[in-house]
Amino acid sequence: MSLHIQDLRATLEDGTEILKGVTLEIPKGEVHAIMGPNGSGKSTLSKVIAGHESYVVTGGSVTLDGEDVLEMSIDERSRAGVFMAFQYPSEVPGVSNANFIRAALQARLPKGEEIDAVAFYKSLYKKMDLLDMDRKFTARAVNEGFSGGEKKRNEILQMMMLDPVYGILDETDSGLDIDALKVVAKGVNAMRSPERGFLLITHYQRLLNYIEPDHVHVMSEGRIVKSGGAGLALELEEKGYEFLKEEPALA
């Protein structure tokens, strides 16, 4: 059982090819990290998996436990268990955080069934405590006026509440100070389980000091060009992405 990306190709609406055949399998229970320089396509990969409409899939497949993810609508993918934590989460003025998360949970229930409000708040508060989030964030409009760190914590809070099978974190570490980074990592680590997989997309190795990956992949120009263990991240940190310029020549 896994999230399986096979030879995935995608272009922008104008035809510019961004993903040029990405293959990656994330079995449940594993944490994979994708690193790479800016413009390598790593954020695009997460958006294509989530179903962002700015991209056109031109080839390949994404399956979740054998189910065709690309056939699903954006919201179906989420309900099927794929969660994407955004690099730049949207603000939703006038919609309180609690009501937003409730609406997302409600969307997962059969018609006519209602969320148990008491259990919901109990669960919400417990997770907010773990993420050091003040209770006032339940009543505040989603992400509105949140600092960068608060937005990222809020993404992790949503992930914890929605309890996905796969969590994809798109540059969740960017713009975070070390304390916020530790809190985010705490949330992810608390969710690690044999039943769940993660894909961490990051530019820096720093995040991986706090969330230890099982596998690290390097992406460049729309492809995964190198894969290894946690050590690969450290190697990249030390040597930078310069080797990418030489290595394809060797291959």
Partner 1 sequence: MTTATTLPAWFTARQQAAQTRYESFPTPRRGDEEWRFANFKQLDFTGFDKAQRSAGFSRPEALVSRSTGLEAPAAKFIFRNDTLVSSDSNNLPEGVICLPLAEALVSHGDLVEAHFMKQETRLGSAKYAAWHEANVSNGMFILVPKNVEVDGVIEVHHWIDGANTVIFPHTLIVTEAHAKVRVVDIFRSTTELDPGVAVAFNDLCAGPGSSLDYVAVQALNEVTRVIQINETSAARDANAKGFILNTGASWARNESLSRLEGPGSHSDMLSISIPAREQEYDQRTFQHHVSEGAYSDLLYKNTLYDHAKTIFSGLIFVDERAHHTDAYQTCRNLLMSDTAEANSMPGLEINADQVKCSHGSTSAQIHDDEIFYLRARGIDPARARQLIALGFSIEVLERIGHEGLETLLLTFIEAKMTGLTC
Q: Which residues lie near partner 1 (CB under 8 A)?
A: 50-53, 73-75, 77-79, 84, 86, 89-90, 92-95, 99-101, 103-104, 107-108, 141, 158, 162
* Shortest separation between residue 227's beta carbon and partner 1, angstroms: 27
* Shortest separation between residue 23's beta carbon and partner 1, angstroms: 24
The rounded distance, in Å, linking the Cα atoms of 53 and 74 is 9
Residue closest to 165 by CA, chosen among 198, 131, 190, 187: 198
Please say which residue, 162 or 234, places its beta carbon nearer to partner 1. Answer: 162
Specify the DSSP element, H or E, that contains 248. Answer: helix 243-250
Please say which residue, 44 or 205, places its beta carbon nearer to partner 1. Answer: 44
> Which SS3 state, helix, strand or coil, does residue 50 take?
helix
Please say which residue, 6 or 99, places its beta carbon nearer to partner 1. Answer: 99
* Shortest separation between residue 77's beta carbon and partner 1, angstroms: 8
Specify the DSSP element, H or E, that contains 154. Answer: helix 148-162
* Shortest separation between residue 209's beta carbon and partner 1, angstroms: 28
Residue closest to 18 by CA, chosen among 44, 36, 49, 38: 44
Contact 227, 24 (CB under 8 A): no
Please say which residue, 196 or 215, places its beta carbon nearer to partner 1. Answer: 196
